Amino acid sequence: MFFGIIMRLSTFITLLCLFCTSYAQPPDTVWSRNYLDDSESSAASDIVALADGGFLVGGGADGAPQRGFLMRLNADGDTLWTRFPQESGFAWIWRVLVTLDGDYMFVGFGPPPGETSWYPAVGRYDSQGNEIWVHHYPDSLYWWYDRAFAICEAHDGGFIVGSMNLSPDPTPDISVFKIDDNGEVEWVSHHGGIGCEHIYDLIQVEDGYVGVGTKCYNVQGDWYIQLSKLDMNGDSVWTRFLAQSYESFGYGVVELPDGGFALTGYVNNDPETGTYKDIAVIKTDSEGEVIWERIFGGSGNDEAEEIVFASDSTIVICGHTSSTETGNNQAFVMSISLAGDSLWMGYYGLEGSDYAHGMCKAIPSGYAFCGEHHVPPNPVGWHSWVVRLAGPESVGEPLPLLPDRITLYQNYPNPFNAQTTIRFSINRTQQVTLAIYDILGKKVKTIIDDSVPLGWHELTFSAANLPSGIYTVSLRAGQESKTKKMVLLK
C-alpha cells in the first residue's frame, strides 16, 4: 500500500540486467570561486553538501602560524561565514562532516594552546559557526607528531576517528578511536606492525567500519594501498594490500550497492625518479578481494584524491594531473562505470596550476569539488578554490549486477530539508515494509507495505508535513530489518 507522499519507486532490474546510466560528456561549470584573502596561501581539503543547497568547506592557510579554516557557503558560492579555530589548536582541517542533528564536525591536527607538539584534533561547531567544543587526543597515541585524517558517524552514537601516529619505532601506525557527542574518548584501537601505515578515509558499513590508506609493506620501502575492515569495537576483521607497486596510496573509499567497495588513489611504478604517478581505481567485493583494478594516466603525474558513488550508479573521482600540454597541474573530475570503464573526464582551472582535493554530490544535483587554485603572477601562491558542476544528461548502460543481500542505504541528503532520497536493495521478491518513525518511536509514515521485486530500489520521501527533528527509516523484508537515522532541518 502506498500513502500520499511524493514518491518515485524505481526497480533497476530487467530480467538478469541491472541498468545504470552513464554520461557522454563531462559536466559544465556552474560557478568557480576563490576564497580567503591575498595575504597568505591556502587550500581547501574537504567539502560536503548542505540541505539548503550550500556547502561546508574545511582546509588550511599557510600563515604564521599555520591555521585551519571552516567555511560555510550558500548555493551560489557566496561566503556566509568563515572560522579559524587556530586559537583552539587547529593548524589544518582535513575532513568535515554534518552530524545527524545538524552540527558541523571537523578533524585535523595542530598543537593544543600553549604547546608546540601536534596532535589529532576534533572540533564541533553549530550551523552558525559557534564553537561547541574542540579536543586534542595526545593520550590515545604514542609519540609527538600525530594527525587525524578521517571521521564518520558511529553506529551507536558518537563518532569514529582515524589518525596516524608515530610509534616509538618510530614508524607511523594507525589509531582508530571512538568519541561520544561531547568528544570524550570511549575506546581506542591501534593497528600496525613493521613499516609505516596511514589512514585517509573511513566509512560506516552495516556491521562495522572500512578505512583506506597506505602501508609501507617491506624493507625495500614499497608502499601498497591498504583497505581494512573493523568491527563495531575497532578490532580488525580483515586487511587487504592492493595495487602492489613501488608506491601506492589510497585516499578515498565508498560502499557500493552490491556490498563491495570502490576506492581510489594513485600508483607509482617509477622507483628511480619517483615521478609519473597514475590514477588508481579499484573495485572489491564485500571481503576486500579485488574484482577489477584500473590505472589511468599520461606522461605526467596523475593522482585521484576523492571518490563518490553517484546517483546514476557510477563512480566519480576527482584529483589533479600534469599530463597536459604545458605540464601545469589541472584539476579533473572523472566518471567510471561499475564495470570499470571510463565514461567521461573533465578538466578545470585551465589557466593556472590547480588541484582538486575533496568532492561531494551537490544538492539537488551535480557535483562540487574543492582544492587550490594558482593563477600567475599571484604573489601569494595558492587560493582555496571551490567549483560547482552541473549534472549532465545521461544515457543508459547495462550492468550485470544483482543484489545478494538486503541493504538499507543512508538517505541522501542527510540532513535534508523537505525531501530526501532513500535507497534499498533486496535479494528476492518478498513482502517489504518501509516506514518512518519519530525520535519517540512513533510511526509517522508508512511508505511501502507491499510485495517488492528483487533489485535495487529508490524513492523520494517528502517530509513537508513533518516538523524538524531526528527520524528513523525502517526497512523490514521477510525476517530481516534494517534502520537508518535521518535528520529533517527546515
What's the pLDDT tens digit per position in 209-250? 999 988 876 555 678 899 999 999 999 999 999 887 768 899
Does a structural domain hold residue 1? no
Q: What is the mean pLDDT of residues 353-377?
A: 89
CATH of the domain at 418: 2.60.40.1930
State residue 157's pLDDT score.
87
Give the pLDDT of residue 222.
73
**End of a domain among 361, 382, 397?**
397
Q: Which of 363, 381, 397 is the last residue of a domain?
A: 397
- Quote the Cα angle for 96-280-269, to 5°: 125
Task: Look at residue 48 and tell me whether its pLDDT is greater than 60.
Answer: yes
pLDDT at 22 (0 to 100): 41
- 372 and 420 in one domain? no
- pLDDT > 90: what percent of the chain? 48
Residues 261 and 277 both lie in one domain:
yes
**Under the phi-then-psi rule, with left for phi > 0, alpha for psi from -120 to 50, and beta for the rest, what region is 347?**
beta
Residues 374 and 483 in one domain: no
Please state the domain count of the chain.
2
b/e map 331-364, b = 16+ CB within 10 Å: bbbbbbbbbeeebbebebbeebbbbbbbbbbbbe
Q: List, for residues 183-204, the tens digit of each pLDDT value.
A: 999 998 888 765 567 899 999 9
pLDDT in tens, 376-421: 666 557 889 999 999 754 433 433 456 777 888 888 888 888 888 8
Tens-digit pLDDT profile for residues 428-443: 889 999 999 998 999 9
Confidence band of 33 (pLDDT split at 50, 70, 90): very high
Which range of residues forms the domain containing residue 447? 10-16+402-488
For residue 65, say if its preceding peptide bond is cis, omega within 30 degrees of 0.
yes
Q: How confident is the model at residue 10 (pLDDT cuts 50, 70, 90)?
A: very low
Is there a domain that residue 340 lies in? yes
Check residue 353 and give its pLDDT.
Answer: 82
Tens-place pLDDT, residues 254-294: 998 888 999 999 998 765 655 678 999 999 999 999 999 99
Q: What average pLDDT score do residues 462-484 get? A: 91
- Co-location of 365 and 437 in the same domain: no
Residues 387 and 417 in one domain: no
What is the Cα–Cα distance from 307 to 377, expressed in whole angstroms?
A: 32
pLDDT tier, 318 (very low <50, low <70, confident <90, very high otherwise) = very high
